[in-house]
Amino acid sequence: MVNFKQFWTKKTLVGLGLGQFLSLLITSTGFSSSELAKRGINAPTSQSFLNYVLLSVVYGSVMLYRRQALKAKWYYYVILGLVDVEANYLVVKAYQYTSITSVMLLDCWSIPSVMLLTYIFLKTKYRYRKIAGVIVCVAGLVMVVFSDVHAGDRSGGSNPRKGDLLVIAGATLYAISNVSEEFLVKNADRVELMSFLGLFGAIISAIQISIVERNELKSIHWTAGAAFPFLGFSLAMFLFYSFVPVLLKMSGSTMLNLSLLTSDMWAVIIRIFAYHEKVDWMYFLAFVAVAVGLIIYSGGDKDDDQSRADVADQGTERSKHFDEEAGFDNLSRGNTVGSSKMGDMSRHDCMTSSGGRETIENTSIGKDMQGKKS
């Protein structure tokens, strides 16, 4: 009989809620990028640049105030910054060559990549329940893809093969970035991670902008309508990057990537209520499937941790019992086989110890008598 109470632990609810908050932030960045694209602004690296600057200024100030030594090597953050910047660039760039449906489907490559990397490098072991949760989530996303095909919204794109390769490469880099952040946030410090990711991310983005997007920035006519979504994108990304380490430390990078699957479905809900667009019924079924998969994956973590702790405690008790038995055996063998000289020394030690106890007892009795006299 399945105990459904194990799914509704505090850790599960907080993880699910935080995951959906991050998913909504990603959805808002998507709408901001779409609005910028409608205005002819196509500068993905420039959009991320302000986010990295905010991270370096805010969290860097906290680091300077703390004045603590680094807990991880600085060049780890250089590599992480490079991977993160290029992951954002490749996935956004892929929309120019392939369809949205292909990007949605191939972006799921980050989930098995994360699971493989965490299994190899972080020694994370996934139980059958968690694997089942991943399968249900991916099945829900496949329903979204079939819904797009059924609705006739699929477009081939100018160069689908190039776009698909860009998505796969970007999803792989996302997986590397998420696993690296999970390792650093669990073994170093969240503030240190965010400040150095922002610092090196801003430096790498600035170099890339000067090479790739310099002419694009010159051609932009900055108005309030163009600046508002640009700033909105940066603020949403700043909040996203700030809360990602919290979820990574709590539930891991696989849970993060599964939670972000619902971003496309939140976009559909916004389209329905904000733009009054009609969508296929399979979207709603897919949303339920992903939600159920998330609950299956994240549910019962507290009980699993408690059971592992109980097993560890039992192992410790057995080890202590074994050590005590081994100690008594050695003591008895020593008394039986030991030489007469050792026996005399043992008797002398016992007498000394006995005398010491008597002295302590007499001292204690004397203090009690003095207390009664007073």
Residue with the larger pLDDT of the pair 240 and 3 = 240
pLDDT higher than 60, residue 242: yes
Place of tokens 């093969």: 161
| Whole-angstrom distance, CA of residue 241 vs CA of residue 221 | 29
Q: What is the pLDDT of residue 210?
A: 93
Q: Express each pLDDT in 358-374 by its tens digit.
A: 444 444 444 444 444 43
Distances (CA, A) of 210 to 119, 214, 280, 362: 38, 5, 43, 87
Sequence length of the chain is: 374
Q: Which of 193, 190, 257, 201 is nearest to 234 (CA)?
A: 201
- Tell me how many degrees the CA angle 370-373-374 measures, rounded to the nearest 5: 90
pLDDT-derived band at 156, boundaries 50, 70, 90? low
Least confident of 55-69, 162-176, 288-302, 339-353: 339-353
pLDDT higher than 70, residue 31: yes
- CB-CB contact of 295 with 2 (8 Å): no
- Neighbouring C-beta atoms of residue 120, cutoff 10 Å: 10
pLDDT higher than 90, residue 197: yes
DSSP string, 263-286: HHHHHHHHHHHHS-----THHHHH
Q: Which of 172, 196, 35 is nearest to 117 (CA)?
A: 172
DSSP string, 11-68: HHHHHHHHHHHHHHHHHHHHHHHHHHHHTT---HHHHHHHHHHHHHHHHHHHHHHHTP
Q: Which of 124, 233, 112 is nearest to 168 (CA)?
A: 112
Q: What is the mean pLDDT of residues 269-274?
A: 73
Q: Express each pLDDT in 294-325 by its tens digit.
A: 778 766 554 444 443 443 344 444 444 444 44
| Whole-angstrom distance, CA of residue 214 vs CA of residue 141 | 37
Asked whether the CA dihedral 79, 85, 89, 92 is positive or negative, the reply is positive
| Whole-angstrom distance, CA of residue 52 vs CA of residue 161 | 31
